Structure 1
Amino acid sequence: MLGIIAAVLFFIAFLINAADIATNDVFTSVNFMLIGLMLLALHVAGIGSGWAARGRRR
Structure 2
Amino acid sequence: MLGIAAAVLFFIAFLINAADMSTNDVFASGNIMLLGLMLLALHVAGVGAGWSAGGGRSRRR
Q: Which amino acid aligns with 2:34?
A: L
Rg bigger for which structure? Answer: 2
Find the counterpart in structure 1 of residue 45 from structure 2: 45
Aligned residues: CA RMSD: 1.3
- Pairing 1:4–2:4 present: yes
Q: Could you tell me how far apart the structure 2 residues matched to 1:56 and 1:41 are? A: 33
- Pairing 1:57–2:36 present: no
Percent same amino acid at aligned positions? 78
Q: Say how many residue pairs are matched.
A: 58
> Where has structure 1 moved over 2 Å in runs of 4 or more?
50-53, 55-58
Unaligned runs of at least 5 residues, structure 1: none
Q: Which amino acid aligns with 1:43?
A: H
Other structure's SS at 2:16 match: helix
TM-score by length of 1: 0.90
